[in-house]
Amino acid sequence: MQKDDLLRLMRDPNLLPSEKQVLLSDIASQAAAMDLPCYIVGGFVRDLLLREPVNDLDIIVEGDAIRFGESLVKKFGGKLTLHDKFHTAIWHLPNSSDTLDLITARKETYERPGALPTVIPSTIDDDLHRRDFTINSMAIRIDGDHFGELLDPLSGQADLEDGLIRVLHPRSFVDDPTRIFRAIRYEARYSFNLEPLTLNLVNPEALDVIPKLSGERIRHELDLIFEEKDSSQMILRLGEFGVFKKIHPKLPLFNADYSDFLEMDPTLDIPASRTVVAYMLWLMDLSESEILSIGQRLYFTTDQTYSIWAVSQLKKSLPFLTGSSPSVWTYALEKLPLLSIYVVYLVTREDALLDFLSIWRHVKPHTTGDDLKARGLEPGPRFGEILHQIRAAWLDGEVSNKEEENDFLNSILNGHSSR
Ligand code: ATP
């Protein structure tokens, strides 16, 4: 692409918000003042060339990114988090919650497949050659007069035009099989294809490295997939490639019937996480020990594993609860995470679950502990029992206003309640 055309894209506020354009020119002028070759890389360049809106800026310098970050903070404010080992810094922008990655151009070597690479500072050309796919291996230089020069040593532009995901070398997936997850994510997101040689490289040799990947890295890639619009298509494709058994021998295929459930109902007031819903749908039919073991492998928090387990338990106990009174439902469901209940509702359409989520869980009696004290009762376990009985009466329709509640309370205190 010609420099003028690229500049036009970079100045289009529909693609790059104006405040980001200002930020970019601030960075560019500071880099020029320090005589530091400076580039935007990766997803920004790819999406800009696709005329998609861009937001995240990854900045690379041929030189010391930490020193560059310190000079930006001195001139424009904000704060810096340093990662000395990787020669990178995160700039927390002034008066904003936004951050920006500042990276020293580097070269990487893999001591063993699946491990994190060893990093040494190098040139932008080496840096582009360490990347995952050609479409992610382009840079735009921004310092001084170079502003708007495209670097495309691996013909990423041509692959973007042809809609192809292509690795940079035949050992790419063996060095780092998280790239298989990434390839599938881009393939579905942009409706691209894996270039035929790249497709062939998703082979047993590469898949056999997946067990060596840390749970954290696999989990990160799966989370990124579940945050995508077309996540179900991506996760089904990963299954077709035989990736799951390599992650954990008991990890099942994702049930395609559940794909639509990944869109959360925004009207329900439940703290929702699309990724946690996805893991619930995926794992809910497994045994308790399988859920625990996969939870460990994928680095779930205790709460996440518990909420997945709760889905499986509730789904199994549903036949025993069906036909129960609202109070029985409520007391059985109340201790479980709301999201777990919602997911069981999605897959079973049991109306009582929705009634619990939207109505029953909010039902509370008017009577309080203080009222009972005022009636001369000594505080103790009986307090809880009485309040529980009154709430059950509300839930089951035996009481529907304050007077009836009062009568009901009197009947309990006089020992006449049937509950
Ligand atoms: P998106 O966030 O839209 O998926 P991105 O390109 O911003 O795309 P990041 O995960 O932020 O993706 O990674 C930034 C860049 O780092 C990528 O464009 C790619 O060049 C490189 N990269 C990321 N992960 C890997 C990897 N596993 N191997 C090689 N390069 C990678």
pLDDT tens digits for range 121-139: 899 999 999 999 999 999 9
Neighbours of 203 (CB within 10 A): 12
pLDDT at 55: 82
CB-ligand 1 contact for 43 (6 Å cutoff): yes
Q: Write out the E strands in 208-328.
A: none
Q: Using one digit for the tens of pLDDT, what is the confidence trace for 83-122?
A: 887 789 999 999 888 999 999 999 988 788 777 888 888 9
The yes/no answer on whether domain 3-162 falls in CATH 3.40.50.300 is no
pLDDT at 111: 80
pLDDT at 143: 96
| Closest ligand 1 atom to 176 CA | 27
CA angle 25, 34, 88 (to 5 degrees): 80
CB-ligand 1 contact for 178 (6 Å cutoff): yes
Q: Say which residue, 275 or 418, is predicted with more confidence.
A: 275
The phi, psi pair for 75, rounded to 5°, reads -80, -40
- In this prediction, residues 358-364 reach a mean pLDDT of 93
Residue in this structure with the two tokens 């308790």, named with its chain if needed: 288
pLDDT at 378: 83
Residues in a beta bridge with 82 = 89
Over 80: is that where the pLDDT of 329 sits?
yes
Q: Which long-range contacts (CB under 8 A, 24 or more apart) does 380-383 make?
A: none
pLDDT at 15: 97
Confidence of residue 256 (pLDDT cuts 50, 70, 90): confident
Confidence of residue 255 (pLDDT cuts 50, 70, 90): confident
Those residues with Cβ within 8 angstroms of residue 73's Cβ, 6 or more apart along the chain or in another chain: 79, 80, 91
Question: Ligand 1 pocket test: which of 130, 136, 187, 201 has the largest number of ligand atoms within 8 Å of its C-beta?
Answer: 136
pLDDT at 264: 64
Over 70: is that where the pLDDT of 419 sits?
no
Percentage of residues in the chain with pLDDT exceeding 90? 79
pLDDT at 416: 58
Q: What is the largest CA-CA distance in the chain?
A: 90
CB 186 within 8 A of CB 135: yes
CB-ligand 1 contact for 172 (6 Å cutoff): no
- In this prediction, residues 315-335 reach a mean pLDDT of 95
Quote the CA–CA distance of 339 and 306 in Å, as a whole number: 11
pLDDT at 112: 82
Determine the angle formed by the axes of helices 231-240 and 178-190, rounding to 10 degrees.
130
CB-ligand 1 contact for 239 (6 Å cutoff): no
Q: Using one digit for the tens of pLDDT, what is the confidence trace for 148-163?
A: 999 999 999 999 999 9
Q: Write out the E strands in 56-190.
A: 58-61, 79-83, 88-92, 99-104, 106-109, 118-121, 139-141, 149-151, 164-165
pLDDT at 96: 87
Mean pLDDT check: name the lowest of 103-112, 186-195, 215-224, 358-367: 103-112
Determine the CATH number of domain 163-247.
Answer: 1.10.110.30
Over 70: is that where the pLDDT of 199 sits?
yes
Q: Across the chain, what does the average pLDDT equal?
A: 92
pTM score, whole prediction = 0.89
CB 405 within 8 A of CB 364: no
Quote the CA–CA distance of 122 and 115 in Å, as a whole number: 21
